[in-house]
Chains A and B, each alone.
Chain A
């Protein structure tokens, strides 16, 4: 049996909306270049040196939930859908990431597996930074560490918003038929 989960439309992105999270002052994540632009030119240069940019087609899966995290992805242009999946293949959208966002950061820093699946919604320019290069960069440029912490806390804020909207916005759904 396939169950269709119905969401309140305001909670999801639609093509025309720039930001689907209609709350809080920061409804759209700051471009990381702008965040990192608070750093010294040397640091910025070092950061650019470890990036490798390529064009990817719409539908490309940047990483799968459960996959070991080998690097971070920066959306230079284009948008990606971030979601979590169940064993039976049902999908739950966490949010849509826009240009300038860094994906996979928490998994890469924790040295664990990606918690979510990221799929490109359109053709995009994507920059990849390998895990070991990122860690090396952070060790050599300590000032960037605090920026990373800020980025992570933003990601977390958005995730909690999603939890909040899912956990509290729904009314109790009708009981599923009891398994026989």
Chain B
């Protein structure tokens, strides 16, 4: 099948099959019709930059497929990955609403489908459809929650080992793995990217993984990671 970057492009929000799973997309019919008219469906390859921190906001980017890494940068080039956005998330939302510059840099880690809406169109859309306002409020609340989480992780964890343990536990609690005695997760990021998420160096991350494996706390097979000793990992995460 011919399609950009191997993506199965969802042309219309109205016929989108995954719409109901995503908070923002689950809009009432009238709002959805309007939204359909103002959105531009686009495809991006892996490694594409949607917008850069500090740039004037052009509009929102609704992530339909693929994942995007959201990061902040220092002037010396040091990068901190704040979040990996999943389908259903609206990127550049707070900047578009407030008119302030984009807070984060958004770069795709997979081929992605993104629905772009121009700022003026989006603001008009929000004025006309207060249901959409509620959805936006929900998204912003979620982002705020995530940012507070980051503050906690950055400010309160003292070692990279703690932060890595927390991250692994967080990732392992998705997809129903939380209840398992030995949860399994798929490592979607490189050691370098993990280092950028927890604010340390790639070498430290590699060393930490080796340590955890040596202590039989985790086990890796390719890109799948199995947590063998969840309680030990929790102890490390809590700095005990």
Contact = CB atoms under 8 A, between A and B. Distances in A.
Interface of A: 3, 5, 24, 26, 84-88, 90, 92, 94, 105-107, 109-110, 112, 115-116, 138, 142, 145-146, 148-150, 152-157, 159-160, 162-164, 166-168, 170, 172-173, 175-176, 178-179
A106 B142 CA distance: 8
Interface stretch (B8-16, B90-98, B111-119, B173-181): B90-98
Given A86-B238, A115-B148, A149-B140, 7 more contacts: A5-B158, A84-B156, A94-B148, A142-B133, A152-B144, A166-B155, A167-B82
B158 A160 contact: no
Contacts of B103: 156-157, 160
Contact of B154 (A26, A88, A116, A163): A163
Interface stretch (B31-39, B44-52, B72-80, B221-229): B72-80
B141 A106 contact: yes
A87 B141 contact: no
A146 B140 CA distance: 12
B137 A148 contact: yes
B145 A112 contact: yes
Contacts of A146: 126-127, 130, 133
A153 B154 CA distance: 22
Contacts of B133: 142, 145-146, 148-149
A84 B236 contact: no
A157 B72 contact: no
Given A160-B104, A176-B161, A149 B136 contact: yes
Contacts of B80: 163, 167-168
A157 B100 contact: yes
Contacts of A164: 72
Interface residues of B, number: 49
B94 A163 contact: no
Shortest Cβ-Cβ A-B pairs, 7 listed = A92-B155, A106-B141, A159-B147, A145-B133, A110-B141, A176-B159, A153-B94
| Residue among B78, B154, B200, B238 with the highest chain A CB neighbour number at 10 A | B154
B151 interface: yes
B158 A176 contact: yes
Nearest to A147: B133
A166 B239 contact: no
Contact of A168 (B72, B126, B147, B162): B72
Given A145-B133, A153-B97, A90 B156 contact: yes
19 contacts: A5-B156, A24-B100, A84-B156, A92-B155, A106-B140, A107-B141, A115-B145, A146-B126, A148-B133, A149-B126, A152-B144, A154-B98, A160-B147, A162-B151, A163-B150, A167-B72, A167-B150, A168-B74, A172-B201
| Residue among B94, B97, B161 with the highest chain A CB neighbour number at 10 A | B94
A145 B137 contact: yes
A152 B140 contact: yes
Contact of A145 (B130, B144, B149, B155): B130
A94 B156 CA distance: 12
A145 to B, nearest CB: 4
A79 B109 CA distance: 42
B138 interface: yes
A156 B98 CA distance: 11
B141 A152 contact: yes
Nearest to A90: B156
A179 B98 contact: no
A122 to B, nearest CB: 24
Nearest to B123: A146
